[in-house]
């Protein structure tokens, strides 16, 4: 009897499990498993309302995919013109619901960008846009193009109808009516536009506030873009850094010891005059404490270390930077006197003077034939009285060198002629009367260093050929051709002859891509536009040409064409 009842119980149990699983499958969608790895990103297969719908009076748009998508897709939607919305997720469906009424007689576009993946981690290469209208007609205009930038997917297209702008154009406090993220490839398409004239920019809108902030990367189109009969020419944008017009600002001063200060700026600074004239330090008793030396912190370029000739008291002290005494890397000077208060320290300064490092280090191999040797010290050296003698030689001969103090803490030794290849060199550095600004003698009196030069130099090559511009390029002058390394660095920029011929000598060996720009201002450098005051960028064209330069080799008959 028991043997008959037990199988019946198992059948009932399995039936219950199957029912539960079926019910669970109806309640929640899950991605299928098994089979070979799917490497294709999920695609939109249906949109409601459908593309081109007019007289739309709903409050949501639903996207259906051919595969299951990750929940991160909820943050990848953009609606133009802007309207507040929420999204809901259901495996292979996403619903975008508007949180405010749509404007009457207006064309809207809903774009799904590329910053999402399906459940297998596949990301799309291009965005997807659907368009509908709340009126009887629909605007079908489109501006499309390409953005060249580091990580183009984090760039956004700002598109301003010219009727929305005023003079002067101020994109730092006026949000664009149309704002769209770029795709992974840098390609973009702003859809649903009425015929008219538009101002177009690419911006790395890091805080997503819809404005061009002072330190954000950007590019301005070379002209305003005209949409006529729904069509506009392709826009190519090559981004560049924000143009620095802000002078360095003193932000903090702090006493490390009784005779050593650290001074912080908003950016790296360089003296226009000597540090002694640029910096004034007053003690709590309002007595000027002379500056013995100042130098940039090697690990933090926007910070100075200031060595004083005598100790500060522990009260409230003041540090002043003279007007016009400092500049940043862009040449901007501080236009006014800057002050900072700080408290003096009672900590005695016990820092001794010694050699911190030598670059290249002792016994380094593969040293360039012209590479300098830099010896760094722990503290500011009294460079006026220091005596440093140097002998730099190979087993066969001595090499004449030039020496200089690059800063109070850095002594530079440069060969006056190229060293021999694949040869060991020794450097004998003798220090006599080398003392710190506090009078402390250096620990090392003699330092011996060795280096092995490179096996062979990487000799440059040459290229020659012809450049054939497109009809669009012919309308611009002058045209500058550039060779770009794999890292995007400009290796060479040149103007071809009037017949398109060119020759370049001493080109470093390597693989290069080519682009062309219209140098309207004749400065030989590509300009990506300006904001204060507003200025268009220069026309730019990426080219499919790839050039491989070999050492000591002339590559002839190179054809550069669009």
pLDDT in tens, the chain (562 residues): 444 444 443 344 444 444 333 444 444 455 555 556 667 899 999 999 999 999 999 999 999 999 999 998 998 999 988 899 999 999 999 999 999 999 999 999 999 988 899 998 998 877 889 999 999 999 999 999 999 998 898 899 999 999 888 888 999 988 899 998 887 889 999 999 999 999 999 999 998 898 999 889 999 999 999 999 999 999 999 999 999 888 999 999 999 999 999 999 999 988 888 887 899 999 999 999 999 999 988 888 899 999 999 999 999 999 999 999 999 988 899 989 999 999 999 999 999 999 999 999 999 999 999 999 999 999 999 999 999 999 999 999 999 999 999 999 999 999 999 999 999 999 999 999 999 999 999 988 888 999 999 988 778 999 999 999 999 999 999 999 999 998 889 999 999 999 999 999 999 999 999 999 999 999 999 999 999 889 999 999 999 999 999 988 999 999 999 9
For the entire predicted model, the pTM comes to 0.74
Specify the pLDDT at position 356. Answer: 94
Specify the pLDDT at position 545. Answer: 94
- For residue 436, what are the CA distances in angstroms to 278, 372, 377, 382? 21, 23, 9, 5
User: Cα–Cα–Cα angle for 204, 205, 209, nearest 5°?
Assistant: 170
Specify the pLDDT at position 18. Answer: 40
- Which candidate, 409, 248, 245, 380, places its Cα nearest to that of 321? 248
Specify the pLDDT at position 31. Answer: 54
Specify the pLDDT at position 2. Answer: 41
Give the pairing of strands 401-407 and 355-359: unpaired
CB 28 within 8 A of CB 68: no
CB 201 within 8 A of CB 171: yes
CB 539 within 8 A of CB 504: no
Specify the pLDDT at position 21. Answer: 38
Specify the pLDDT at position 277. Answer: 85
Specify the pLDDT at position 16. Answer: 43
Specify the pLDDT at position 390. Answer: 96
Specify the pLDDT at position 115. Answer: 84
Is 537 in a helix, a strand, or coil?
Answer: coil
């Amino acid at each position: 009897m028991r043997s008959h009842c037990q199988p019946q119980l198992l059948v009932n149990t399995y039936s219950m499990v199957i029912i539960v699983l079926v019910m669970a499958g109806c309640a929640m969608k899950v991605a299928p498993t098994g089979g070979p790895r799917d490497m294709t990103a999920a695609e939109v297969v249906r949109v409601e309302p459908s593309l081109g719908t007019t007289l739309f009076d709903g409050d949501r748009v639903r996207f259906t995919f051919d595969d299951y998508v990750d929940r991160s897709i909820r943050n990848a939607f953009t609606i133009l013109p802007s309207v507040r919305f929420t999204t809901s997720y259901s495996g292979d469906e996403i619903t975008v619901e508007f949180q405010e009424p749509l404007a009457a007689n207006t064309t809207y576009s809903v774009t799904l960008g590329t910053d999402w993946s399906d459940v297998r981690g596949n990301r799309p290469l291009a965005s997807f846009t659907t368009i509908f209208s709340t009126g009887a007609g629909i605007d079908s205009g489109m501006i499309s193009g390409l953005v060249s930038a580091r990580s183009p997917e984090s760039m956004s297209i700002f598109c301003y109808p010219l009727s929305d702008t005023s003079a002067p154009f101020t994109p730092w406090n006026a949000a664009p009516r149309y704002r769209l993220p770029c795709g992974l490839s840098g390609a973009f398409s702003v859809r649903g536009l009425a015929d008219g004239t538009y101002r177009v920019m690419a911006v790395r809108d890091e805080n997503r506030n819809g404005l061009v902030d002072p330190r954000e990367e950007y590019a301005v189109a070379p002209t305003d873009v005209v949409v006529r009969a729904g069509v506009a020419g392709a826009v190519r944008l090559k981004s560049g850094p924000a143009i620095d017009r802000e002078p360095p600002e003193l932000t903090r001063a702090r006493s490390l010891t009784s005779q050593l200060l650290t001074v912080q700026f908003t950016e790296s600074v360089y003296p226009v005059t000597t540090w002694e004239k640029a910096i004034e330090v007053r003690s709590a008793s309002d007595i000027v404490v002379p500056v013995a030396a100042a130098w940039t912190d090697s690990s933090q370029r926007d910070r100075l270390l200031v060595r004083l000739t005598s100790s500060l008291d522990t009260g409230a002290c003041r540090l002043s930077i003279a007007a016009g005494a400092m500049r940043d890397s862009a040449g901007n000077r501080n236009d006014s006197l800057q002050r900072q208060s700080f408290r003096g320290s009672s900590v005695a300064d016990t820092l001794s003077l010694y050699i911190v490092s030598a670059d290249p280090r002792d016994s380094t191999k593969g040293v360039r034939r012209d590479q300098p040797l830099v010896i760094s010290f722990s503290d500011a050296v009294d460079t006026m009285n220091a005596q440093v003698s140097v002998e730099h030689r190979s087993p066969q001969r001595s090499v004449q060198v030039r020496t200089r103090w690059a800063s109070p803490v850095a002594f530079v030794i440069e060969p006056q002629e190229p060293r021999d290849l694949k040869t060991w060199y020794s450097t004998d550095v003798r220090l006599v009367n080398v003392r710190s600004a506090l009078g402390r003698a250096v620990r090392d009196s003699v330092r011996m260093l060795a280096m092995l030069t490179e096996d062979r130099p990487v000799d440059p090559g040459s290229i020659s050929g012809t450049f054939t511009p497109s009809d669009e390029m012919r309308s611009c002058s002058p045209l500058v051709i550039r060779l770009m390394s794999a890292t995007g660095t400009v290796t060479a920029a040149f103007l071809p002859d009037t017949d398109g011929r060119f020759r370049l000598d001493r080109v470093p060996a390597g693989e290069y891509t080519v682009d062309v720009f219209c140098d309207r201002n004749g400065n030989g450098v590509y300009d990506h536009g300006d904001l204060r005051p507003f200025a268009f960028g220069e026309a730019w064209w990426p080219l499919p040409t790839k050039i491989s330069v070999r050492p000591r080799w002339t590559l002839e008959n190179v054809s550069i064409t669009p």
